[in-house]
Structure 1
């Protein structure tokens, strides 16, 4: 995968909320799609398990399945255009295709292109020979040669944060070339998306001498999740894709696809046993079949929270319910070794999208200025118990 942030996606919506969510977005998605009969996706099909070609030359992988599901939702034809990742922004702007599938949103990229809502989250870590004791800091890597993939947010991050501190950054066009150089000892380490490098090297016999080293790398320059990139003058296309994405999240198709590919998170370096973190199920939903939270490695995934108190009483306003939810989420995070400062993503479900500004004013006050989590907001009729809002979040646990 060419860009990353966090891993292992879980969307534990209640079944009946998902049903009403789907119904609320279908009409709008179909109406927007009437102006198009085709969407062209630019993709570099050399990055399993995200996008590649099988023995028959057919496109397969997580992003291919998500793209096809979005096109089915929008009732348009998907056309896939093979495109080298390092040049795909220029190719998008030249009109070779309509969407880059996928790309991590960053502030620098938003200056020249636009992005959809986040499809899922991944994380970035350093990979080196076992026993290297390297960590992803300029001080640790000074004098070392670090491989990155050209055109990625990780390449931009490494050049901006490490290169001026005496770290040599070596760019590669293909991951196969980078891995060959790592195996040969021509580079000392690589900064990679955890899922891609696991499949490409660490889970193979030739990767037995290598492992993740140091902690997950989190920085605004790395972006916050995996999205689709579009031209800035395509607001209708952006709206189509976002509504279709919300619909497949609500009807369960998104979860069914993503869970087949992103089922685990690599353990912190040095953890004994398997290199895959164990699952920890925290709390419960009373008589309902869900946990309050699930911890996977350094990530904590919270179930959706409603704005009622311990007695089931809801504040009358959306603002009041938003505050109650955020207080509840904050307390749950604190109990589990995290905090609102460590939240990386939230989904906000409103019973009435007209309450967006009211919700937003309260929500924004719970996060440090300029460090807001990635977020998706959509409308869903008939939330549980007549609630006005439901919020779920994912947070990093240090």
Structure 2
């Protein structure tokens, strides 16, 4: 029975030859385009590695983060490789792989700013990328004289911080690291604290690959690839292209 199921899985993929992968537009260092329009970044490398291991062609579909799950529900993509956290609401619509990296949700603000509790955000403007786990937290603060500005991309949120339109940005440790160390006035800002009221569980701190609901065969194979590249060092090699530290 095991052999027949495995053969059926490989036969399905042999017929399709293609895997449609949803990625987030403009989210360095996870997904970006070079001057020639070629995609690159941590998530792009992870997606390409999965396709290489499965011997399937990757076809990338770029979209805003909050469009990814609807696109999967509509059957337009097979996987979401976009640094997505796992929540109960999302699990009602799609399935997830095992985690492939870890990043804590954090607050980014001006250098020297001190943040210790919710009261800090009173009369502040928060820039936050729409559809993210941090957006839920930000909207819960809006009843406390806090203004929340939702943007399409993390870069857009950062730009509001830089030009003074926002007091803080909610993001994660990895996107924050990239902003703080790669220009765009990042040297004037820092991580001023974590978001302690977001449940401190692996589902929040870890990133997962989204998978079409009830496609158990694909879920199994993606999990096998993630386990393999973690154990053989490939995942670490990819992460070191973009970060000077381990992210798993």
TM-score by structure 2 length? 0.86
Identify the residue that residue 170 of structure 2 maps to in structure 1.
191
Aligned equivalents of 1:187 and 1:45: distance in 2?
22
Identify the residue that residue 125 of structure 1 maps to in structure 2.
106
Aligned equivalents of 1:195 and 1:120: distance in 2?
10
Match of 2:32, SS state, is: strand
- Structure 1 window deviating more from structure 2 (242-251 vs 71-80): it is 242-251
Deviation at 1:80, TM superposition (A): 0.8
Deviation at 1:177, TM superposition (A): 2.4
- Tell me, yes or no, if structure 1 residue 34 matches structure 2 residue 11: yes
Match of 1:116, SS state, is: strand
Identify the residue that residue 216 of structure 2 maps to in structure 1.
235
Aligned equivalents of 1:207 and 1:178: distance in 2?
13
TM-score by structure 1 length? 0.55
Identify the residue that residue 241 of structure 2 maps to in structure 1.
260
- Tell me, yes or no, if structure 1 residue 115 matches structure 2 residue 107: no
- Tell me, yes or no, if structure 1 residue 94 matches structure 2 residue 94: no
Aligned equivalents of 1:142 and 1:30: distance in 2?
59
Identify the residue that residue 248 of structure 1 maps to in structure 2.
229
Identify the residue that residue 26 of structure 2 maps to in structure 1.
46
Deviation at 1:61, TM superposition (A): 0.9
Identify the residue that residue 41 of structure 2 maps to in structure 1.
61
Q: Following superposition, which runs of at least 4 residues in structure 1 exceed 4 angstroms of deviation?
A: 28-31
Deviation at 1:116, TM superposition (A): 0.7
Match of 2:143, SS state, is: helix
Aligned equivalents of 2:133 and 2:29: distance in 1?
19
1:95-139, Cα deviation, whole Å (9 max, x unpaired): 11111112111122112221111011112211111233234x322
1:212-251, Cα deviation, whole Å (9 max, x unpaired): 1124647338713111112222112111211122222233
Match of 2:219, SS state, is: helix
For structure 2, the 5+ residue unaligned runs are none
RMSD of aligned C-alpha atoms? 2.5
1:181-223, Cα deviation, whole Å (9 max, x unpaired): 2122211111112222332355416222211112464733871
Deviation at 1:68, TM superposition (A): 1.0
Q: Which has the higher contact order (CA 8 A, sep 6+)?
A: 2
- Structure 1 window deviating more from structure 2 (195-204 vs 29-38): it is 29-38
1:364-395, Cα deviation, whole Å (9 max, x unpaired): xxxxxxxxxxxxxxxxxxxxxxxxxxxxxx8x
Kept in 1: contact 2:154–2:171 (CA 8 A): no
Deviation at 1:166, TM superposition (A): 3.2
- Tell me, yes or no, if structure 1 residue 149 matches structure 2 residue 129: yes
Distance 1:57 1:187, change over 3 A: same
Aligned equivalents of 2:10 and 2:225: distance in 1?
10
Kept in 2: contact 1:91–1:97 (CA 8 A): yes
Residues 1-398 of structure 1 mapped to structure 2, 5 A cutoff? 32-36=9-13, 37-102=17-82, 103-135=84-116, 137-160=117-140, 162-204=141-183, 206-215=185-194, 217=196, 219-220=198-199, 223-264=204-245
Q: Choose between structure 1 and 2: higher helix proportion.
A: 2
Structure showing greater radius of gyration is 1
